[in-house]
Structure 1
């Protein structure tokens, strides 16, 4: 018969032991030590087993936990510990046979049950330690969101943020201490939050409404979404770049010569698991990339200050690379020698010299060459005429 792991992660709600399953109650009764936040430990009755308050920062508690081994330890976490909870962090620090988990109902499930929302059609976000800007890609009239917040004051901050994005008409259902004796539910409009304190733990259900501009879900969003000093891959070209790069879940992009960060940001907007590093030699542009990424809800973008190829040393290997600036023989040679087989490379050239360079490498490695020549209408006296942009040559190859 398999031995019971020394650690049990127990999902507990605001109703305390009353809401626990028989298995969770048995694990608590058998525990030699209990560990969790002060709020969770306070839900339990007096017991002979010692209670240890999880320290701040959270990572410090992992060593405390390891030092308790092999005593039987019960760790208390909110609701479902593996849905924006502590469960995955603890599990990664231990061997698979050292722990087990007994989840409880998540706050998302309890909220959906209160409101009658189909949870599979609702976006669920945990923003305990994340900026409100992560909401930006999800904001659109008619969308339903359930958001977990770090504390009561964050409710007012959420209302201000939604209003600032043009979604001040959104209906908010503010749910405090859901499922317990302190439960309180308040309906409000995002632009008219009641002037009172809200208690932790708090979740907010958002029924999005308003005239705010949603982020398009296609590649090549409007240039106006980005702050720029005119160093930006323009919308039609950007759509072709993203199509050539072909982002896939969990993949990493190197965006060399980040400019405004538009390529890396759209790569990240394509899927929640994608990753990107923008390499930019100018500090002012690097700061601008960070601001654009934060404002558009992809603060996971890493901005690496420096010039390629020197700045590429030590970076994790990518699945795709875009060269939008700084194209040189040395850079292409370095990428050819160091990138893993199968890496997708897309490079752009505008000058005759850089076009010659790409033509040379296309002859060596193959791939596809595309010449992009765009024109747009401009006034010409009382009439209109076509104005051509500089043509762009795109080289696309899989190494």
Structure 2
């Protein structure tokens, strides 16, 4: 059994006496150098190496049979080492004694209801991850990250910096450049921000014409039906709009884009970063040759339907209960969908969209290319 103890900015003196007594009963302490220096006594002290995760199993094995205590910041189960240890060892082998988290302390200082606040960790992550959380009137707490980068992404928001929360050097101010390394940034969003509902404006994307248009994109995403934690393959990704809007529906949604054109692949990466999902993975290559990834929960084929073996590979790879959606704008691609619809079932839908356009001094309808959509769900085994 490993004991994990949360420590605040108030250090050893801020821990209850019962917790201090429990720490004293252990043989070896793990933690950062700063945390280890806080604890009096003659323990063996093991500072965390960097990087930590690859070394963690070996460290614990080297001290097997000894009474081990891990020191953590705040609540160890909130973006902390406690969660990592539970995943590694199982809940039966980890006992957690939490301290109030920096998020709880920040909300207490600001008077913000914790259940109405979005929390985003930027520890070791790009600030663009904030983008999907920026909505008028919303409040965010940002953990870690570079204050100047947060400001550049959040635009017209109002910022509050909370430093050393709960400690003797606690300070609350609005000067981002002077932030202490141990800080939380409170963000009161301004007017910017796109909806999380699929169907962003076409001009939200950088593209060369290879873009699933807004109305068709909304229908396509509805059929793909993203759920938290799921993985999408976007094959023939073009500008990446389907994968990007899939990923924006929930922070745990993942997507892999396959695009053979290198300039378009680079464009996908720029679009993903600009719209707040920089973890969308982009693979340059031809399908089906490069389609060797983790099992997808959904697959979208927006291009390459006539490539021999591409659709078959996607179907074979799809998880039971997974969804496949393919869009066709040419007769050749449509014939492929009709053939597979006969063989595998599902549904065929034709979407025809017209948009207003000027005709002289008047306004008329300008039809877009009709799109045939095939949607099928793979049967559960």
Both proteins in one fold, TM over 0.5: yes
**Which stretch shifts more, 8-17 or 141-150?**
141-150
Partner of 2:347: 368
> Equivalents in 1 of 2:10, 2:361: separation in Å?
73
Residue 380 of structure 1, aligned match among 337, 349, 359? 359
> Equivalents in 1 of 2:360, 2:204: separation in Å?
31
**Which stretch shifts more, 332-341 or 289-298?**
332-341
> Equivalents in 1 of 2:253, 2:151: separation in Å?
29
Partner of 1:229: 208
Partner of 2:125: 130
**Are 1:17 and 2:7 an aligned pair?**
no
Partner of 2:82: 87
**Are 1:49 and 2:37 an aligned pair?**
no
1:160–1:344 CA distance, 2 compared to 1 (3 A): closer
**Are 1:121 and 2:102 an aligned pair?**
no
Partner of 2:141: 146
Residue 293 of structure 1, aligned match among 267, 272, 290? 272
Residue 152 of structure 2, aligned match among 153, 160, 165? 160
Q: Following TM superposition, by how much is the alpha carbon of 1:186 offset from its aligned partner in structure 2, in angstroms?
A: 0.9
* Count of residues in Structure 1 that have an aligned counterpart in Structure 2: 376
- TM-score, normalised with respect to structure 2: 0.94
Partner of 2:297: 319
Q: Following TM superposition, by how much is the alpha carbon of 1:27 offset from its aligned partner in structure 2, in angstroms?
A: 2.6
Q: Once the two structures are superposed, what CA deviation does each residue of 1:113-161 show, in whole Å capped at 9, x if it has no partner?
A: 11111000001111111111111011122111111114xxx22332233
- Give ranges in structure 1 of 5+ residues lacking alignment: none
Q: What SS does structure 2 have at the residue aligned with 1:146?
A: strand
**Are 1:176 and 2:163 an aligned pair?**
yes
CA contact (8 A) 2:227 2:253 kept: yes
> Equivalents in 1 of 2:222, 2:329: separation in Å?
19
Partner of 1:72: 67
Q: What SS does structure 2 have at the residue aligned with 1:241?
A: helix
Q: Once the two structures are superposed, what CA deviation does each residue of 1:240-278 show, in whole Å capped at 9, x if it has no partner?
A: 100111112222111111111110111111122212111
> Equivalents in 2 of 1:266, 1:393: separation in Å?
20
- TM-score, normalised with respect to structure 1: 0.90
Q: CA RMSD in A?
A: 1.7
**Which stretch shifts more, 246-255 or 57-66?**
57-66
CA contact (8 A) 1:23 1:102 kept: no
**Are 1:29 and 2:24 an aligned pair?**
yes
> Equivalents in 1 of 2:365, 2:197: separation in Å?
26
Q: Following TM superposition, by how much is the alpha carbon of 1:343 offset from its aligned partner in structure 2, in angstroms?
A: 2.1
Q: Following TM superposition, by how much is the alpha carbon of 1:9 offset from its aligned partner in structure 2, in angstroms?
A: 1.1
Partner of 2:234: 255
**Are 1:198 and 2:179 an aligned pair?**
yes
Q: What SS does structure 2 have at the residue aligned with 1:312?
A: coil
1:55–1:116 CA distance, 2 compared to 1 (3 A): same
